[in-house]
Amino acid sequence: MVQRRVRAAFTLIELLVVMAIIAILIGLLLPAVQKVREAAYRTECKNNLKQLALGCINHEATLRYLPTGGVANPIKPTGVVSSRFTSTASTTPASGKDQQWSWAYQVLPYIEQDNLWSTKNTSAADWGDGFVVAQPVKVFACPSRRPPTVETINPPPQFVMDYAGNGGWNSTGTGANQVFAANSGMFVQGTSTNSPAFAVTATAVSIGRIRNGSSNTVLLGEKSVSVPGSGGGVDDGDKISCYYGYGFDSVRLANAPPRQDPQTSLTALNSNFYFGSAHPSAMNAAFADGSVRQAPYGVSSDISTASTTYPGVWQRVTNRSNTVAVDISDF
């Protein structure tokens, strides 16, 4: 008599049940993984801002003032290949108030990027300083939004960053409680001239002159970039290299509280000059004492009436001349 062996196997229904269970488990696990990843990204972002803030503080300790905001339209001195230099005889870039480029460029020697700061330029055109303006540095990029990004819409390629200096509260309003001026921030725009002789006029801020104390005043924060603009080159304020001159690519205003990156282009929303981030619920902000805290998107902002503006917490902590006590428990 021949005995037949029946081999055990899963039925189709059993396989479908197992696959369904696996899919459910993955669905439950994915949000937890995303939360862990975002927590790691937020920590890295805080560390980036910490390094940049300490770099600015070291700049202040060396030169007795923070980096300037730079000049909006740098002027190349006669015979000089780059507006980073002040004369044809210069062998190193200008420093301090003589430098036309942005705070992000000025802080490079203080975040261990001396070689990039001092790189020679051999082009006759200022924009030909292509290696510098296109060189990505990881500390300027928030991992929650994007890796270090070089946009290629504007020639030459431009490295765009995710952080911005505090440009203060630009107000034209009036009223008994109107205490903020256009240059109330930490990084102020300078000017330059090439006639009759080259000169740079820049206002620099020292930590000792912050009226409400360095621990109560925002130095740096994340800048708002729309989701479609996160690749670089879509939003105004995210097109020009963070190293080159003064602009909303490197300095943002505090007229509005921080916001999470919107789905619509910031240029279309006319809000390309405010703070914001890709993080949920809050952005990271570095204060002038080097501490980094979270600024919630719901932090109290100014309240305006027909004749008076009552500045809120966000406007007060971004105004270097503020003398009113600030409750920063929201941070």
- pLDDT value of position 266: 81
Greater confidence (82 vs 45) lies with: 45
- pLDDT value of position 177: 42
Tell whether the model's pLDDT for residue 98 goes beyond 70.
yes
**pLDDT grade for 178, boundaries at 50, 70 and 90:** very low
Domain borders along the chain are 18-317
**pLDDT grade for 331, boundaries at 50, 70 and 90:** confident
pLDDT in tens, 257-308: 899 998 888 877 767 788 999 999 899 999 999 999 999 987 876 555 444 5
7-26: average pLDDT: 80
Tell whether the model's pLDDT for residue 127 goes beyond 80.
no
Tell whether the model's pLDDT for residue 182 goes beyond 90.
no
Which residues, 6 or more positions from 248, have their beta carbon under 8 angstroms from its beta carbon?
A: 164, 223, 236, 237, 272, 273
Tell whether the model's pLDDT for residue 112 goes beyond 90.
yes
- pLDDT value of position 52: 97
Query: Model-level pTM?
Result: 0.85
Mean pLDDT (the chain) is 84
- pLDDT value of position 15: 84
- pLDDT value of position 206: 93
232-260: average pLDDT: 89
- pLDDT value of position 310: 54
Paired sense of beta strands 309-310 and 163-166, if any: unpaired
109-121: average pLDDT: 91
Greater confidence (137 vs 28) lies with: 137
- pLDDT value of position 174: 44
Ranked by mean pLDDT, the top range of 199-203, 285-289, 312-316 is 285-289
Tell whether the model's pLDDT for residue 175 goes beyond 50.
no
Greater confidence (56 vs 255) lies with: 56
Q: Using the Cα atoms of residue 58, residue 62, residue 68 and residue 70 in order, give the sign of their dihedral.
A: negative
As a whole-number percent, the residues of the chain with pLDDT over 90 amount to: 43
Alpha-carbon distance 294 to 281, whole Å? Answer: 9
pLDDT in tens, 60-80: 999 999 999 999 889 988 888
**pLDDT grade for 181, boundaries at 50, 70 and 90:** low
- Three-state SS letters, 168-224: CCCCCCCCCCCCCCCCCCCCCCEEEECCCCCEEECCCCCHHHCCCCHHHCEEEEEEC
- pLDDT value of position 123: 64
**pLDDT grade for 3, boundaries at 50, 70 and 90:** low
157-169: average pLDDT: 92
Token readout for 240 is 């020009």
- pLDDT value of position 173: 46
- pLDDT value of position 232: 86
Tell whether the model's pLDDT for residue 204 goes beyond 50.
yes
- pLDDT value of position 290: 94
- pLDDT value of position 301: 64
226-242: average pLDDT: 88
